[in-house]
């Protein structure tokens, strides 16, 4: 019989936790979310020496206070789920701050094993760490590892299993000053007499209560002893206490460090030298913009040939299917509905993979936090974090990977706002619509009009962010306290794994809802409208007045009439939800000119709509409901239909408002007549 155990992987951000996790579990991992929240949760399996280990990757945290959602998740997992062993990954080049988390894990009384990672870098830097002494001092097993090369993993697993079989968990205790200790003892007495608290380590719980930890107080409030607890809590000043506690932990760490290692602090590190250039007053911004440009080029230029191949392939597949299947409606469902639908999902895959490859290079090398450092001043003006810049810029290529890129933002509110405003950045798929309409109506000024649309998108995005920050997502501003980790050479394997993880999530989760949406629109376009005597999915019905969608278009007409749009435009906009560039194609079909864009622009310019209505239509296309792929990832990334719907309604209202002002206002003032 194999034994089954749970091992939690804890550690500060950027210490190589993901590398260690990948080295332990290989490909046997599952990425999901923590219950109820959208913080990523990775679980992997590994059998070692007949022990079946389930490895749970906790979010990277500096501490275990209730400061951020990540910390609460990590802490709650440890105190509520009680993993058999906790492995803390430590960056050997940054011991002092990393050990701060260690002191907290030790106070939690968990079975702890330390993976002393990045030992190669510590050695290169000239640090000398005596693991044996460290182990003696902490009374916790210490195993050195090199996560990026997978060195030391077996030793780590062995130590974890050994730790499990030790009969006694060492009661690791730090002593604080007498007054704190006195109150801790009083609280402990209360907690230990109440079975409600039997589940929690009493000393740790008492300290957290005294520190005024809201999350812990909330738990305590549910017990019967709360009034008694409160009395003791009131005797201490939480502010003074927390400073003393932090101070004491760091003092203990310093005492230990003096004994176990010899750290070379004298010279300027390579990382500092790189930063002198990269975050330089003069060069910092140009370097940042060039890197952004490079990432953008790689993502969208390199992506294009692949997208074309995918496009051609699915076009061919749809055609073949339509030819092979003899039942016309089935042929249409498979060809125009399902295959085209799957194609519209897969077509973004090259962009997503390339963008995430670039992002993971930037994250793993340590540049991402420099980018946030450089851009923060600008972003903070709109109530956003420096890290929101990259997702927004990527939106110019495609909003789908942009929304997914918001994962790099730690604060959940900043992330949510970034996701909600990212669809306003004008993506590549809207360009065909602009080119057609601006070309038909504005001739030589088309360039100015298109530039104006891009500028409008940016303005709507940042002003909406500001608006949300000061209304529905109000609250204490998130403090900006960010580590600038030392630069590291990213590994190809690490970046590839990261890239594939993202791609898989996109295909799996977003894929389902996009497919449903696409097939839904196909059905609406194929089902004959009641009263019309067309056949289901016949050419004569598909997307015309004889179909349900045509009927919907006519129902919608009064709504869009004030914008100068007729029912054909309304239908084109419904189709545009599948993918925005379809607006053009479906207008071609509806105006009876097929896919020929030149005759379409001739018809339009000849009086099918006014220039003001055309301008309004371009603005409407920019701001209204994003495409299904976008809706899919918004749902996936916010984890909430409420926020997804909010985005759709907010965007569409803005679109309507802008188009209304342009058409009605412009007509009244006699503009562009």
Partner 1 sequence: MLGIPTKSKHTKGHNMNEKTLDFIEPETSVKVLKVTGQKSSRKRILDMGLTPGTRVDVIRRAPLGDPVEFKLKGYNLSLRKREAETVLVEVLK
Ligand X SMILES: Nc1nc2c(ncn2[C@@H]2O[C@H](COP(=O)(O)OP(=O)(O)OP(=O)(O)O)[C@@H](O)[C@H]2O)c(=O)[nH]1
Which residues are annotated as part of the binding site for Mg(2+)? 22-23, 25-26
The two tokens of residue 550 are 């045509």
CB of 660 to partner 1, least distance (A): 38
Indicate which of ligand X, partner 1, none lies near residue 388 (CB less than 5 to 8 Å, by partner kind).
Answer: none
CB of 550 to ligand X, least distance (A): 50
Buried b (16+ CB within 10 A) or exposed e, 502-533: bbebbbeebbebbbebbeebbbbbbbbbeeee
Q: Does 338 bind partner 1 (CB under 8 A)?
A: no
As a whole number of angstroms, the distance between CA 360 and CA 356 comes to 6
> Which is nearer to ligand X, 14 or 332 (by Cβ)?
14
> Which is nearer to partner 1, 271 or 586 (by Cβ)?
271
* Stretch of residues binding partner 1 (CB under 8 A), selected from 105-113, 167-175, 375-383, 428-436: 375-383
> Which is nearer to partner 1, 178 or 476 (by Cβ)?
476
Per CB under 6 A, residues contacting ligand X are 13-19, 60, 117-118, 120-121, 146-148, 363-364, 488, 490-491, 494
The two tokens of residue 552 are 């919907």
As a whole number of angstroms, the distance between CA 367 and CA 365 comes to 6
CB of 388 to partner 1, least distance (A): 14
CB of 462 to partner 1, least distance (A): 16
What are the binding residues for GTP?
Answer: 11-18, 36-40, 57-60, 117-120
CB of 349 to ligand X, least distance (A): 23
Which among 427, 436, 352 is positioned nearest to 636, based on CA atoms?
Answer: 352
Indicate which of ligand X, partner 1, none lies near residue 282 (CB less than 5 to 8 Å, by partner kind).
Answer: partner 1
The β-bridge partners of 114 are 88, 142
Which among 281, 275, 290 is positioned nearest to 484, based on CA atoms?
Answer: 275
> Which is nearer to ligand X, 414 or 581 (by Cβ)?
414
Indicate which of ligand X, partner 1, none lies near residue 322 (CB less than 5 to 8 Å, by partner kind).
Answer: none
> Which is nearer to partner 1, 33 or 254 (by Cβ)?
254
Among 486, 601, 621, 647, binds partner 1 (CB under 8 A): 486
Among 297, 483, 595, 596, binds partner 1 (CB under 8 A): 483
Indicate which of partner 1, ligand X, none lies near residue 169 (CB less than 5 to 8 Å, by partner kind).
Answer: none
For the beta sheet containing 3-11, the strands, ordered from the edge strand earlier in sequence to the opposite edge, are: 29-33, 40-48, 51-57, 3-11, 85-91, 112-117, 142-144
Strands 29-33 and 3-11: unpaired
Between residue 262 and residue 291, which ones bind partner 1 under the rule CB under 8 A?
Answer: 263, 265, 271, 275, 279-282, 284-285
* Stretch of residues binding partner 1 (CB under 8 A), selected from 245-253, 424-432, 536-544, 622-630: 245-253
> Which is nearer to partner 1, 480 or 641 (by Cβ)?
480
Indicate which of ligand X, partner 1, none lies near residue 146 (CB less than 5 to 8 Å, by partner kind).
Answer: ligand X
501 vs 147, 160, 393, 508, 569, CA distance in Å?
A: 19, 27, 22, 11, 39
Among 3, 139, 237, 539, binds partner 1 (CB under 8 A): 237
Indicate which of ligand X, partner 1, none lies near residue 96 (CB less than 5 to 8 Å, by partner kind).
Answer: partner 1
Cβ atoms 347, 578 nearer than 8 A: no
The two tokens of residue 188 are 């402990």
CB of 242 to partner 1, least distance (A): 6
Between residue 55 and residue 74, which ones bind partner 1 under the rule CB under 8 A?
Answer: 62-63, 65, 67
The β-bridge partners of 56 are 8, 43
CB of 385 to partner 1, least distance (A): 10
> Which is nearer to ligand X, 120 or 501 (by Cβ)?
120
C-alpha radius of gyration, the chain, whole number:
30
Among 3, 80, 81, 96, binds partner 1 (CB under 8 A): 96
CB of 258 to ligand X, least distance (A): 25
As a whole number of angstroms, the distance between CA 44 and CA 53 comes to 8
CB of 98 to ligand X, least distance (A): 11
**Residues composing the chain:** 673
Which among 567, 573, 569 is positioned nearest to 555, based on CA atoms?
Answer: 567
CB of 83 to partner 1, least distance (A): 22
Q: Phi-psi bin for 109: left (phi > 0), alpha (psi -120 to 50), beta?
A: left
> Which is nearer to ligand X, 23 or 339 (by Cβ)?
23
Rounded to an integer, what is the distance from CA 258 to the centroid of its chain?
A: 40
> Which is nearer to partner 1, 263 or 672 (by Cβ)?
263
CB of 474 to partner 1, least distance (A): 15
> CA-based diameter of the chain, in Å?
90
The two tokens of residue 623 are 């701001």
> Which is nearer to partner 1, 370 or 580 (by Cβ)?
370
As a whole number of angstroms, the distance between CA 474 and CA 328 comes to 54
Angle ∠(626,628,633) on CA atoms, nearest 5: 85
The β-bridge partners of 48 are 51
> Which is nearer to partner 1, 62 or 628 (by Cβ)?
62
Among 69, 298, 330, 484, binds partner 1 (CB under 8 A): 484
Cβ atoms 618, 437 nearer than 8 A: yes
- The DSSP code sequence of 408-447 is G--SHHHHHHHHHHGGGS--GGGHHHHHHHHHHHHGGGHH
The β-bridge partners of 599 are none
Among 482, 523, 593, 672, binds partner 1 (CB under 8 A): 482
As a whole number of angstroms, the distance between CA 84 and CA 326 comes to 61
Q: Quick one: DSSP state of residue 32?
A: E
CB of 592 to ligand X, least distance (A): 55
CB of 285 to partner 1, least distance (A): 5
Cβ atoms 156, 115 nearer than 8 A: yes
Q: Does 380 bind partner 1 (CB under 8 A)?
A: yes
> Which is nearer to ligand X, 10 or 589 (by Cβ)?
10
What are the binding residues?
Answer: 11-18, 22-23, 25-26, 36-40, 57-60, 117-120
Indicate which of partner 1, ligand X, none lies near residue 482 (CB less than 5 to 8 Å, by partner kind).
Answer: partner 1
> Which is nearer to ligand X, 408 or 647 (by Cβ)?
408
Q: Phi-psi bin for 11: left (phi > 0), alpha (psi -120 to 50), beta?
A: left
The β-bridge partners of 46 are 53
As a whole number of angstroms, the distance between CA 315 and CA 445 comes to 35
Tokens 């278009």 locate to 553
Cβ atoms 93, 127 nearer than 8 A: yes
> Which is nearer to partner 1, 376 or 637 (by Cβ)?
376
Count the residues of the shown chain that bind partner 1, applying the rule CB under 8 A: 48
Indicate which of partner 1, ligand X, none lies near residue 433 (CB less than 5 to 8 Å, by partner kind).
Answer: none
As a whole number of angstroms, the distance between CA 60 and CA 70 comes to 7
Q: Does 246 bind partner 1 (CB under 8 A)?
A: yes
Among 197, 200, 367, 373, binds partner 1 (CB under 8 A): 373
Where does this chain bind partner 1 (CB under 8 A)? 62-63, 65, 67, 93-97, 100, 211-212, 237-239, 242-243, 246-247, 250, 263, 265, 271, 275, 279-282, 284-285, 369, 373-374, 376-378, 380, 386, 476-477, 479-486
């Amino acid at each position: 019989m194999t034994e089954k155990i749970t091992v939690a992987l804890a550690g500060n951000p950027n210490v190589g936790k993901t590398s260690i996790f990948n080295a332990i579990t290989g490909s046997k991992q599952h990425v999901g979310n923590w219950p109820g929240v959208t913080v990523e949760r990775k679980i992997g399996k590994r059998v070692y020496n007949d022990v079946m280990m389930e490895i749970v990757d906790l979010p990277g945290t500096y501490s275990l206070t209730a400061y951020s959602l990540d910390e609460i998740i990590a802490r709650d997992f440890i105190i509520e789920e009680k993993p058999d062993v906790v492995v803390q990954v430590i960056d050997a080049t940054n011991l002092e701050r990393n050990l701060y988390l260690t002191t907290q894990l030790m106070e939690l009384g968990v079975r702890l094993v330390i993976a002393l990672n990045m030992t190669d870098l510590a050695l290169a830097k000239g640090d000398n760490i005596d693991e044996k002494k460290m182990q003696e001092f902490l009374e916790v097993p210490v195993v050195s590892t090199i996560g990026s090369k997978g060195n030391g993993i077996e030793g780590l697993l062995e130590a974890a299993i050994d730790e499990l079989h030790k009969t006694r968990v060492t009661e690791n205790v730090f002593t604080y000053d007498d007054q704190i200790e006195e109150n801790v003892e009083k609280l402990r007495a209360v907690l230990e007499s109440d079975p409600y608290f039997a589940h929690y380590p009493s000393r740790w719980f008492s300290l957290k209560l005294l520190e005024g930890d809201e999350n812990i107080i909330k738990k305590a409030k549910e017990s019967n002893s709360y009034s008694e607890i409160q009395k003791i809590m009131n005797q201490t000043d939480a502010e003074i206490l927390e400073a003393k506690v932090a101070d004491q932990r760091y003092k203990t760490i310093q005492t230990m460090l003096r004994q176990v290692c010899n750290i070379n602090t004298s010279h300027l590190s390579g990382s500092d030298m790189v930063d002198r250039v990269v975050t330089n007053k003069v060069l910092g911004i140009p370097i940042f913009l060039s890197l952004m440009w490079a990432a953008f080029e790689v993502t969208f230029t390199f992506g294009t040939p692949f997208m074309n191949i995918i496009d051609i392939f699915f076009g061919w597949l749809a055609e073949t299917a339509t030819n092979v299947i003899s039942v016309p409606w089935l042929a249409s469902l498979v060809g125009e509905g399902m295959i085209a639908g799957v194609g519209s999902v897969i077509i973004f895959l090259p962009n997503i993979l390339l963008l995430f490859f670039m992002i993971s290079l930037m994250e793993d090398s340590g540049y991402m936090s420099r980018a946030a450092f450089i851009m923060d001043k600008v972003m903070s003006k709109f109530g956003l974090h420096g890290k929101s810049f990259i997702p927004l810029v990527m939106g110019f290529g495609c909003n789908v990977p942009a929304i997914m890129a918001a994962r790099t933002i730690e604060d959940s509110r900043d992330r949510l706002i970034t996701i909600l405003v990212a669809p306003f950045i004008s993506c590549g798929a809207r360009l065909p619509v602009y080119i057609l309409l601006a070309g038909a109506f504005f001739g030589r000024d088309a360039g100015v009009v298109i530039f104006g649309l891009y500028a409008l998108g940016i303005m709507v995005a940042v002003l909406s962010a500001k608006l949300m920050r000061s209304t529905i997502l109000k609250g204490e501003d998130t403090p900006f306290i960010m580590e600038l980790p030392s630069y590291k050479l990213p590994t190809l394997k690490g970046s590839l794994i990261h890239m594939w993880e993202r791609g898989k999530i996109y295909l799996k989760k977003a894929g389902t809802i996009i497919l449903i949406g696409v097939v839904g629109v196909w059905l609406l376009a194929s089902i004959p409208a009641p009263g019309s005597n067309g056949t289901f999915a016949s050419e004569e019905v598909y997307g015309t007045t004889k179909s349900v969608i045509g009927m919907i278009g006519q129902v919608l007409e009064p709504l869009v009439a004030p914008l100068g749009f007729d029912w054909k435009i309304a239908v084109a906009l419904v189709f545009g939800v599948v993918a925005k560039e379809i607006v053009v194609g479906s207008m071609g079909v509806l105006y009876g000119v097929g896919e020929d864009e030149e005759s379409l622009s001739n018809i339009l310019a000849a009086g099918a709509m006014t220039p003001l209505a055309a301008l309004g239509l371009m603005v409407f296309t920019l701001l209204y409901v994003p495409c299904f792929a976008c809706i899919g990832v918004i749902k996936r990334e916010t984890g909430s239909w409420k926020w997804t719907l909010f985005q759709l309604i907010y965007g569409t209202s803005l679109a309507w408002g802008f188009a209304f002002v342009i058409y009605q206002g412009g007509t009244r003032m006699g503009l562009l007549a």
